[in-house]
Amino acid sequence: MSTIQIKDRHFREYLSQDEIQARVDAIVQELSGKFSDKHPVFIVVLRGAFMFASDILKKFNHPCEIEFVRLTSYAGMQSTGKINITQPLKEEIVRGRDIIILEDIVDSGLTMDFFTKYIQSLEPASVTLVSFLFKPENLQKEVKIDITGFVIPELFVVGYGLDYDGEGRNLPAVYQLAL
Ligand code: IMP
Ligand code: MG
């Protein structure tokens, strides 16, 4: 089992590249079944979802548009609970459209509770939330995730887009904090 160090912490591999790619393929199949003739708008939540979104979108071979937002709430290993939109969305693209949100992880749920309400306020035709990871033990807000990549336990994870204090996003697998 491979172990890595990022800054002061040790992490061990938790989800391999092969496991992740197999799950990505299944998610793309599900999305293709629902949206192949719908011309959806994917909204990629930066920065954590960039790698997941890239893998999904390379395989989604149907007409679609792609937008990016940047939401921030975390400092180090803690959510601050206060959500900021630091890269805003082109709001006019949302109205009447089928929106597919691609997020890296739902933890407390505060970020996606805030963001899905914001998207709903822009009057889309539908909203589908796809989260690569879901940590249900820490949930503080009822967030409806339509498609979850993997449900994981409470431990902090890094890699495949997710960072620990700015590092580790480029790792192609997911690593879990080794206690
Ligand atoms: P929430 O608002 O608590 O649901 O957290 C949302 C954001 O916190 C996610 O989009 C991630 O960017 C970040 N986050 C939550 N848990 C982790 C983790 O285990 N590792 C890295 N980032 C995390
Ligand atoms: Mg995120």
Q: Hey, whose CA ends up nearest to atom 10 of ligand 1?
A: 105
Under the banding of pLDDT at 50, 70 and 90, the label for residue 43 is very high
Q: Whose CA is nearest to atom 20 of ligand 1?
A: 157
**Of residues 26, 24, 8, the one with CA closest to residue 132:** 24
| CA–CA separation, 74 and 37 (whole Å) | 37
pTM beyond 0.75: yes
What is the distance between the alpha carbons of residues 159 and 176, in angstroms, rounded to a whole number? 9
**pLDDT given for residue 82 in this prediction:** 82
Catalytic residues: 107
Q: Is 57:51 a contact under the CB 8 Å cutoff?
A: no
Q: Does residue 1 register a pLDDT over 70?
A: no
Cα–chain center distance at 161? 9
Tokens of 56: 């999904």
**In the chain, where are the structural domains located?**
24-158
Query: Exposure pattern of 72-107 as b/e (b: 16+ CB <10 Å)?
Result: ebbeeeebeeebeeeeebeeeebeebbbbbbbbbbb
What's the CA-to-centroid distance between 148 and ligand 1, angstroms? 14
CATH number of 24-158, picked from 3.40.250.10, 3.40.50.1360, 3.40.50.2020, 3.40.1080.10: 3.40.50.2020
Sign of the torsion angle spanned by Cα atoms 119, 120, 123, 124: positive
Q: Distance from the CA of 96 to the center of ligand 2, in angstroms? A: 25
Mean per-residue pLDDT, 14-26? 98
